[in-house]
Amino acid sequence: MSSPTTGTSSAIGRKIIIDDFDDPYLPLPARLFNAVGAICPSRFPDVDSLLAMATKRSGGLTNFGSDFMEPLSVLVHSIQNETPLSAFGRFLQKESIVGCLVARLHLEELYRLHPEIEEECIEKPIIISGLPRTGTSHLFNLLSRDESLHWIPYWETLSPFPAPNERSPDGRVKAGSDALKLINWCIPKFAAMHEYQNDWPHEELQLQMQSFIGLGFEAFLIVPSYSKWYRKADRAPSYAYLKRCLKALQYLRGGERKRWLLKCPEHLANIPHLVREFPNATYVQTH
């Protein structure tokens, strides 16, 4: 496994100029995809279609868990009516939402097959919270070198739970690698702003996006009505879902009760929910 504290970035020491704000760079195949999509435009899928896609992709699973239909419905309505997506953008967002739904299906099936997961305890996690650009990622990467801690690699935040018939996580690891290749292909300068590696520790933003209650969607999309809904929404289900995920991930690690290392900028606005789910946590706030 590579180390985020010893690895080097090709961007280090080079002057990076971003000069495509008015006309963002996009690879030729994606531009051609958009051109065809403009000729034959399609509407973003509705909630029922997205659920059906996830069920098919999971091999027929149907239990998505609870407390997600309202935020999902608000999000999809906002995307359908307010988000100016290209054809490529519609494809990527559809895949993102279906991926979240598949993860929910796999999680609920894992609990059904192994109800003892409920007995897992998340003891004294270390939670880093701070505004973006205050060094949270550097601190996160540094602390992750402590072998007494659990943390989540990038690939596992995207596909955290195995399908019932999975024999090896290799397919999920490859999916994470492919996702990073796509990011670097579409946004070549992204690594200069925030470098990812597939096996490096990653924040739990993607896990919380699976609850469909979170800032992640607002960060990636123009979704005014969803943003308005989110401001007033009860975010407790998002943090209950995060704890449920961590219990399952700990079980998949053999139930070893190491302390979890967590980090997400969204936590700053949700400390009461963190305290409710993780009452014995240690908080580290960067400034």
Classified as helix, coil or strand, 22 is coil
Largest CA distance in the chain: 56
Q: Residues 6 or more apart from 240 whose CB is under 8 A from it?
A: 67, 277
Contact present, 248 and 117 (Cβ < 8 Å): yes
pTM value is 0.93
State the DSSP code for 127: E
CA distance 222 to 224: 6
pLDDT tens for the chain, 287 residues long, are 666 755 445 555 678 888 888 888 899 999 999 999 998 888 999 999 999 999 999 999 999 999 999 999 999 999 999 999 999 999 999 999 999 999 999 999 999 999 999 999 999 999 999 888 899 999 999 999 999 999 999 999 999 999 999 999 999 999 999 999 999 999 988 888 888 899 999 999 999 999 999 989 988 999 999 999 999 999 999 999 999 999 999 999 999 999 999 999 899 999 999 999 999 999 999 98
